[in-house]
Structure formats: structure tokens, C-alpha cells
Amino acid sequence: MRRAQSLGDLLLTTTTNNTKKNKKKKKKNEQISYQTLAIVILSSLLIFSLLVIKQQNKNRKIRDIDRKLHHTISALATRAQWSLEEVSNGEKTKWWKKYNHPQQYDSSQNLPLVLLDEYGLPTLQQQCERKVEWPTVAFMTSSFLCESFLDVLPKTLRVHTFPLNTRAQMKYNSLRKLPTFNRGYDVEDYLVKWLSDGPFSINRNNRVKTLTEKTEIAYLLPIQPYLDRVSSFPFTDGRESSESGLKSAVQYAKKVNPSLWKQSKGRRVIVSVHDFGTELATKIFPDDDENDIDDIYDTSASSSAMLSPVSFSSSSSSTSSSLINTTHFIVSNSEIGVENAPFDAQKDVAVIPSLSFYLPREAVSRGLVDLSHFLRNEEEYASVGLELPKLEAERNIRLMFRGNNRGPLREKVFRYLIENGSPEDSIETTGVASPQAYMSLMEHSKYCLHVRGTRVMSPRLIELMLFGCVPVIVADAYELPLAWFLDWTKFSIRVPESEYENIHAYVEKANWRELHSNLGRVISFFVYHKDKPIIGDAFYATSLALLNKLEQRASTPTTPPTNNNNNNRAKGEE
């Protein structure tokens, strides 16, 4: 039997054990301290990183807002220059009243046949009377166009406008008083106004009685995506506001008159002139469940296949419920093959992107529009107070561009042209010139460049044409305005983007005199009028294009809208 340890041995053993335990505990505590310190350091670094990222995002957002405000101020300054120019030359608006006294009458309606419009451009009625030949596409004749504008369109097209809720109406009424950043954006408000309450409106004066079996009805959803976007600018890109405005409009239209909304399928119309255009409608499926008006966004994976446009026919419009496939879009971004903002040439209409009421008059008064196809001798020019057109000898600039350099294509094109330019050319990308300088450049240039930027739409295209400068268009897959009846090869030059280094070769081969003459023949189709549209102008040409798209789809029975209680309620809220 082992002898018991002495008290000293016991104490020594206990002390040794405690020392070992203390060392282990101390070591463990040290490990915990190191771990805690590491966690604290890592946490601090994480928090610091988050603060840095947050500050960077904040700075980036501030920089983004600052950039937007800078561009906005620059754009508004340019608009102010143009407005001042228009005001200072306002007396020119009265010139036609001195000369344009109509001497002929339409015997069928006992109305005067006006020779020239307010700009000094020939009216369509008079061009048809004089049997003017336009540069049309192969299957179209000038006589058929006259019949389409003067007879078919007024009798056939009718537009029913869905009501907007009171909040949307108040917002639009307020926002449209603000100046736009781009002269092309004004077109949206103009088209919505005259489609809603113009010569083809069903809502105006209760025109239901004028409907016949041949009537083609378009159902306008009078949203204005550009104004919706302005409502949140510059703090966001505005797309959410535009989409929200469209969603609310659809919900309200379905709520007010569900049967009429269902009837409108395949005949709906939306005007959108901003760069994203049809992108608004690619996620909206308002007809999947007619009983559920609140759930019009389809986020299921199965719906993704419906985002791309399909051939517009009665079969596609009846089986597909996406808004993109049941609606005719009048848009500026008429690029075929763009996935996020699809344009279908079989159903959509390319907008005429310039709403200037000043430049057409200025161009005509300077003698820059060749009207020799209509005013056939010097005496006729003098009788209406116009000068003979300025011809090639007075244009000493071969190729001109003024504007910005935004967009990868523009960077390549203008760098090449500047490095390989000619003294005959005038290419600058430092921004838009002053109004007088810009008009002078167009006046003295034979050819003017229209190159794809961040988007292809620009009012510049129409302005060049007005001033008799033949446009050189470098933008692929671009559905040009009115290309469904006008042959653009006869009054412009189209250069593939891949061949931009051959621009000078294209220009050298062209017949400027012939192209310039044809510009004078077609330009009246590309201008809008301030007081009200006139037959044959840009509004009527757009309306005829819409009628053409409606008729292209397979014919389906058309039932006139009825003035039921829901309709009356809608009118009461407008």
C-alpha cells in the first residue's frame, strides 16, 4: 500500500497543477484575445470598406447627377438660343399672308385651295393638282399617294383615346410647361395631342356616327414616357417612372372599360420618342388574366420567350398577350434587331423627329429649298414672294458636321474624317454651334453627316434636309421615317457603318443636283404645323403610316366603341 503524500508534497502538487492550469488558461485567453482582436480588426476594416464604398457610390451618384445637370443646362442653353432666334425673327411668320391669297376653290366643299403653307412649301392638294411626281418606292405611285392622303385617310382612320387618371393628367399638364432638352422630344406631346383631339379623333365631337365597315380604329394610350422620365430627373434615369406611368395607364384603362380594352388588342397605339421607346412594354403582359387588373407584370421564366417581337398578324395578336405584340408604337428608336427596345417594321412607325416651327420658314425664305418642280418659272416665285433656289455654286463646303462625339461609332468616324479630311470639309465635334452659325453651315454645305450616336434618332436629320443639305446617313438597321413610301436613295446617301472610311468615295459618286432637287419634292412631308396639322404634312404622313400598319394585319371584325356608363364616367374624370 502506497504511503500517503505529506502535506508539503500535496501542496507542491496542487501548486504545480494550478500553475499548469493557469498557463493553459492564460494561453487560451491569449488565443481568445488574438481572435477577438482579429475579429475587431476585420470588422473595422469591413465597416471602413463599407463606408468607403458608400462614399464612393455617393460621390459617383453626385458626379452622375452633376453630369446630367451639366448636359441639361447645356441643352437648355441651346434651346434658349434657338428660342431667342425665333423671337427676334418673328416678323417672318407673317410673310405668307401678304402673298398667299388663294384664288382657286374646291368645288366639292367650297373651300379655298391654298397654294403654299405657312412656311412657303406647296400644299399637298396643289401638288396633286399639278401632278407632281415624288421619289417613291417601286410599288407606290404619286397618284395613289394623293388618293391615300386626300380621300382614304380622312374616311378610314379613327382614333379612340383611353382616359388617363386625374393624377396623370395633372402631372402631364404641369410637366409639358417645362422646356425639353432636345427639339425631337417635343414631337411626343404634339402627336399625342393631335391623335387624341385632332381630325381622326372619335372622342372629339362624338364622331361614332362617322364609323363604317371600312373604318380602321386605333386605340391610343396617351401616355408620355418622356414627361414621366422628366418627373424624376436628374436623381434617377427615369425609366422606373416611365414604366410606372405606363403600368398605371394600362390599369386605369382596363378598370374604366374592360371590354373596350380587350377589344383594342392588336390595335393599341403608344407614342414614345425617347431612346428606350418600346423597352417600356417588353415586361408588361396586360391580357394574361382579364380579371386581374393589378397583376400585369409577368416575371415568370416562361414569359421571357415573349419579350422579342413577332410578326404582327391576327394570329399573333390573339395568342400573345404581351403589350409589345398587341401595340403599334410610334417611336424614334426605329432600329431593327435591338433586343431591349425592339422595333417591328410590320407594325411600328418611325417618327419624324423634328418639331421646329421656325427652321422650315427660315430655310424657304433663304431660298434653300428647291421648289422648281412646283413653282416653274421666275414669275411664279416672285408672285409668292420667294427667291429662286440657291444651287451648287453657292455651297462651298463639301461635307459638314457639327455636334458631339458621343458613341463608339462617332468616335471612329470623326477621328478618321478629321485625320483624312479635306479643306472642302468642315467637321467639328466640340458641340452644337450657335443658331446663326449652324444655319449658315447648313446653307453653304452640299452634304451633311448624320451618324449614329448613343441612338440614331436626332432632329438634325430633318434640319439638314430642310436646308437643302443632302444627308449622308451612317447608321445600320435604321428604319428611316416614311421609308414605306419614299425612296430615300433618291434624296440621301446611305453608308454602311463598316464602310465609314469610304464616305468620301460615296460622296464623290453622288449626283448632288439630283439629290438636292428631290429633297425639295419631299420636304413638305417632314414638317409639322403649329396651329393645326394640314393634309400631307408630318402629322398626316405619320397617321397614314399608322393606317397602313393597321390594314397590313389580317382583317378582324371592328366594333365601334360604345358610350356605356364606364365611358361616361371616364369622360367625367378627364
Task: Give the pLDDT score at 74.
Answer: 63
- Residue 281: name the closest of 315, 245, 255, 235 by CA: 245
Which neighbouring-strand residues pair with 548? none
Residue 276: per-residue pLDDT: 72
Which pairing describes strands 104-106 and 111-113: parallel, antiparallel, or unpaired? antiparallel
Q: What are phi and psi of 146, to 5 degrees?
A: -60, -45
Residues 366 and 442: their CA atoms lie apart, in Å, by 11
pLDDT of residue 110: 45
* SS3 category, 445: strand
pLDDT value at position 333? 84
pLDDT in the model for residue 47: 63
221 Cβ contact list (under 8 Å, min separation 6): 162, 246, 249, 250, 253, 268, 269, 270, 327
Q: Of 311, 350, 316, which Cα lies nearest the Cα of 541?
A: 350
Torsional sign, CA 245, 246, 251, 252: positive
pTM above 0.85, yes or no: no
Joined together, the cell numbers standing for residue 461 give: 436629320
C-alpha count within 13 angstroms, C-beta hemisphere, residue 79? 18
Give the strand order in the sheet containing 493-494. Answer: 426-428, 397-402, 445-451, 470-474, 493-494
- Output DSSP code: residue 481: T
Q: Where do the DSSP E strands lie in 107-265?
A: 111-113, 157-161, 216-220
Each residue of 101-153: pLDDT tens digit?
444 444 444 444 578 999 999 999 999 999 999 999 998 999 999 999 999 99
Identify the pLDDT of residue 536: 96
Under the banding of pLDDT at 50, 70 and 90, the label for residue 538 is very high
- Give domain 359-544's CATH number out of 3.40.50, 1.10.10, 2.40.128, 3.40.1350: 3.40.50
Q: Is the peptide bond preceding residue 258 cis, with omega within 30 degrees of 0?
A: no
Least confident of 16-25, 282-291, 321-330, 403-412: 16-25
Q: Which residue has the higher pLDDT, 571 or 425?
A: 425
Tens of pLDDT, residue by residue over 42-93, are 556 556 666 666 566 656 656 665 665 666 666 666 666 666 777 666 555 5
Mean of the pLDDT values across residues 9-28? 54
Task: List for the chain the helix, strand, coil content (%; round to 5).
Answer: 50, 10, 40
- Whether 297 shows a pLDDT value over 50: the answer reads no
Ranges of each domain in the chain: 32-88, 157-200+216-299+318-344+545-574, 359-544
Instruction: Please give the average per-residue pLDDT across 235-253, as a whole number.
Output: 85
Residue 156 has pLDDT above 80, yes or no: yes
403-438, pLDDT tens digit by residue? 888 889 999 999 999 998 788 999 998 877 788 899
Does an H or E element contain 568, and which? helix 565-573
User: Between 25 and 372, whose confidence is greater?
Assistant: 372
Q: What mean pLDDT, rounded, does the chain reach? A: 78
Q: Which distant-in-sequence residues (6+ apart) come within 8 Å of 228 by Cβ?
A: 171, 238, 241, 242, 244, 245, 246
Between 183 and 206, the more confident residue is: 183
